[in-house]
Structure 1
Amino acid sequence: MVRPPPSTPTNSDPQDHVILLDEDGTARGLAPRATVHTATTPLHLAFSCHLMRADGKVLLTRRALSKRTWPGVWTNSFCGHPRQGESMEQALARHAGHELGIGIHSISEALPDFRYRAVDASGVVENEICPVFVAETDEEPRPHPAEVAELRWVHPQELHALVELSPWTLSPWAVAQLPALHGLLRPSSGGSS
C-alpha cells in the first residue's frame, strides 16, 4: 500500500506549485497552483488516476462545488499535479490520501502520452500533459469535502456507456481518457450496489 509520508505539505502550503512545460514536454519552471489556472493557463504537468477495487468496480467522483474549475462535475477517481522532485507514484499517493483518505497499490501507467486542453463554463482553461494511471485500493474512501462532493463505485461497462450516452455529464479529460482505457478497466463480475 502506497501512502504519503507524514510530513507531506498540504495543498494550501506555499510549496503547492505546478511544473510548467514547453510544447515538447520539457520542464521550464514552476508556478503557484492557486493562481496558474486562468483564461490563458500555460501548459503544465498533471496526472489522472482511475481507482479500482477487488470486485472490479471503478471509483467515479464528483468534484466539490467549491472547486475553481469544473465545480460539481463527475470525473475520474482523482487527479492532480506532481511537485518538483516528486515522483508520479509519490504524487498519486499524496493526492489519494488528501482527496480520498486512502492508500493505493498496484499503480500502473495506462496512458503515458495523454494531453488535453479544455475550457470550462467560466472561461478557465486546463492545459495539461497528463499521464493517466490505474491503481487499486482495499479501503473505503473518506473524501475531503473541499475536493470531493460525492462518489460512486461503478462497473467499467457502466462508465463506458455513460461516455457514449451522456459525455456532457463528465469532465472533458475523463471523456477523452475512458475510450482508450476500455480494455484496461477490467469488467467486474459482481452486481450493482
Structure 2
Amino acid sequence: MLVDRAGRALGTAPKTSVHGRETPLHLAFSSYVFDGEGRVLLTKRADHKITWPGVWTNSCCGHPMPGEALDHAVVRRLSYELGLVAERADLLLPDFSYRAVMANGIVEHELCPVYRVLVDAPVAPNPDEVGETWWMPWKEFADAARNGLLAISPWCREQVPLLIELGSDPLTWAPASLDELPPAARP
C-alpha cells in the first residue's frame, strides 16, 4: 500500500515495484519476538533477498495485504517466515518511518509501525526468508546495537533506541493505542 507522508493511502503497487532505486513510501511493519525470559529473536535475512541480503535484523518484517490489519499481517508473516504461532501482536511504535539506501542504490522507504510478539515455541525458519536465527538477551542486544557493536539492518538500528525508551524490560512495555497508527494502517 503506497502512502503519503501523513500516512494516508494513495493506492497499491506490486511488492516487486516498491523496492528499487526509486522506492515510493509504502506501508510495512517490523516485529520483535520475545520469549518468556526476555530474549529477543534476531534473524539473518536470506542471502538471496533483494534488500539487505545476509544482514542480521529484528525478528520479522513485511507488508500487509490490501485491507489487512497490520497486527494480522505480523502474525501471518511470523507463521510463514519462522513457523511461529502467535496469538497477538502489540503495537509499540505506531508512526516509525525510515528511508535507507543500499550500496547498490536500492532503497527501502517505509512507514513501518513496530510490534512486539511474545512466544513460547520453537522456531522453524523458512529458508526462502531467513538464513539463521539467534535468541539474545534484550539488554545485551540493545547495548550492542546502540553502541554499534553489532552489524544490523538500518531500520533495526533506528528502532532500538526508540524501544529502549519504553523501558528496560521488553515484557512490560505498554502497547500504544491503535488510534496512533497512520490513517492507512488503522483497522
Q: Does TM, normalized by the shorter one, top 0.5?
A: yes
- In structure 1, the partner of 2:69 is 87
1:23 Cα offset (Å): 1.8
Counterparts of 1:185 and 1:32 in 2: how far apart (Å)? 39
Percent of aligned pairs with the same residue? 45
| Match of residue 151, structure 2, among 143, 163, 169 | 169
- In structure 2, the partner of 1:10 is none
Please give the residue correspondences for 1:62-81 in structure 2 after superposition, counting only pairs within 5 Å: 62-81=44-63
Letter in 2 for 1:108: D
Q: Contact conserved, 1:110 with 1:184, CA < 8 A, in 2?
A: no
Q: Secondary structure at the match of 1:134?
A: strand
Q: Please tell me the root mean square deviation across aligned C-alpha atoms, in Å.
A: 1.6
Between Structure 1 and Structure 2, how many residues are aligned?
170
1:167 Cα offset (Å): 5.8
**Measured at CA, do residues 185 and 104 of structure 1 come closer, stay the same or move farther in structure 2, by a change above 3 Å?**
farther
| Match of residue 107, structure 2, among 119, 125, 131 | 125
- In structure 2, the partner of 1:107 is 89
Q: Contact conserved, 2:2 with 2:24, CA < 8 A, in 1?
A: yes
**Measured at CA, do residues 106 and 86 of structure 1 come closer, stay the same or move farther in structure 2, by a change above 3 Å?**
closer
1:146 Cα offset (Å): 1.0
Normalised by the length of structure 2, the TM-score is 0.86
| Match of residue 153, structure 1, among 129, 135, 142 | 135
Q: Secondary structure at the match of 2:135?
A: strand
1:168 Cα offset (Å): 6.5
Q: Contact conserved, 1:167 with 1:175, CA < 8 A, in 2?
A: no
1:22 Cα offset (Å): 1.3
- In structure 2, the partner of 1:186 is 169
Counterparts of 2:73 and 2:55 in 1: how far apart (Å)? 22
Q: Secondary structure at the match of 2:13?
A: strand
1:34 Cα offset (Å): 2.0
- Map Cα deviations across residues 136-192 of structure 1 (whole Å, 9 max, x no partner): 11111100001000010000111112213326610000000011111456269xxxx
Counterparts of 1:46 and 1:146 in 2: how far apart (Å)? 19
- Map Cα deviations across residues 10-45 of structure 1 (whole Å, 9 max, x no partner): xxxxxxxxx001121110111100232111100000
- In structure 1, the partner of 2:29 is 47
Normalised by the length of structure 1, the TM-score is 0.83
Gaps of 5+ in 1: 1-18, 189-193
1:65 Cα offset (Å): 0.2
